[in-house]
Each structure stands twice: as C-alpha cells, then as structure tokens.
Amino acid sequence: MDRVTPEVMLALQLSTNNEPLLPRLQRFVCKNTTGAFIPSIPLFLSAKTTDLNIVFTPDPPTVMLALTIVRFPTLCPRITNLVLKPLPRNPTITEAVSEMLLACNRDTLRTFVVDSPLTEDARGVLYKLPKLRKLWTTIRGPTLLPRVTLPDLEAVYIQWDSGCDWLQGFREATIGKLKTVVLRPTSESTRIGNFLEEFQSTALTTSAQSTLSKFKRSLFTRHSHGPRTTHPCLDSDK
C-alpha cells in the first residue's frame, strides 16, 4: 500500500463523492497497512463487504486507527469474518475495538481475530455470539469472563498476561463443537501458576473433553523463548 500515496487516495475520494470505490466488494484484505493508508480504508468498504482482514505495520497512529475501527460496523453492517492485527496495547484501542464489537451484527459474526483486550461490556457480547466459530482474543490483568455460551465455536486462541481467573468463564460453558485450543502467555507474563491444573479442572465441566482434538499451550514468557505458535485463527487467508 506504500505505492498508493495519500494524494492519490484524496483524489479518488473526491472523484467518488465519498461513495465506496468498489461498492460490490465482499472481501477486503490489506497487509502491511501503513499509518498513511489507514484513513483511506473506509473508501473501499460498503454494505456488501462481509470479510475484513487487515494486518497493520508496527506502531500505527493510535487515534486515526481508533477512529477507523469504530466505523467498521456502520460501513459493513453484516461483517462475517473480522481479522485485525497487530494492534497497539493502548486504552484508546481497547475502547475502539470494544465499541466496534458492540455495534457489530451479532447474528452474522463467525470469525473474531482481534488481538486487543476488551471492556467488560464487550466481553459480555463476545463470549455469547451465537454463530462464532473462530476466536482470537487477548486478556490483560485480572479479568472475569461471563459464562461462555458459544455453541458453534470450533477454535479458540487466547493470550493472557497474568492469573487464570478468566478460566472460570469456561466452567460449564456451552462449547459443544470445540476442536482446537491454543493458550499462550503474553511476553509480559511473569507468573504462570498452576494453570494446567486449573485448565483441566475447568475443561472437565464442559463437553470439550469429548470434542477437543488439538491443544497447545505455549510456555513463552519474557524470560524464555520458544517456537512460534500457529493456529487456524491466525491464518489471515482463511
């Protein structure tokens, strides 16, 4: 996207009178998205767009990124697959992502791959989406989740930085189709605790023990290094 200068995008915007450049576009995939290009993203989106897959370059401008993210549900009212990564660890981004999720059509969202923490209200929505199949999310600090009710969930990738209180949300959870679980402490993690014991105790209260076919738990912390963890949720090309 570096080849498309801001001047070119401004000219296109003026020529279309703020209408979508590609009004029939269903899937928008944009890799190596620079800060300069972020303001132009809405030009490509429309009510026909259901699949958003955007990979940002490091350290994008926080305010502009937040203002763009909150517009996605309005521009694309029937989002099915949503991939946004990597995102800055910033309260402004957390609020923007949470506001976006709260405004999304809850009956259409099937993939949510967004590596940002969420507000309590947004967590209350995310973990009860009726058609969600793939989930990637980040949990920072002591966090309590609502009782998880994701009947169509097949794969989950969770990053967390401390404690395991959030596991209680999965106790007696409705996750009858879960096949893949990947759990990874963030690079800031300093204390793991008896996580595996807690996970096992929680898993035994759900139907996942009879459906789960793949489980990965990375031991990576800022004091250790390990191989990169892969997961279906991370496949930006689905």
For the chain, the domains span 22-234
- Structure tokens given for 151: 């009947």
* pLDDT at res. 220: 46
Q: Report pLDDT digits (tens) over 141-154.
A: 888 899 999 999 99
* pLDDT at res. 237: 41
* pLDDT at res. 30: 94
Q: Report pLDDT digits (tens) over 61-104.
A: 999 999 999 999 999 999 999 999 999 999 999 999 999 999 99
pTM, rounded to two decimals: 0.82
Q: What percent of the chain has pLDDT over 90?
A: 54
- What's the full length of the chain, in residues? 238
Q: Residue 232 in 3-state DSSP? A: helix
* Domain with residues 22-234, CATH architecture: Alpha-Beta Horseshoe (3.80)
Burial of 181 (0-12, 13-18, 19+ CB in 10 A): buried
| Confidence band for 224, pLDDT divided at 50, 70 and 90 | very low
Residue range 187-195: average pLDDT?
59
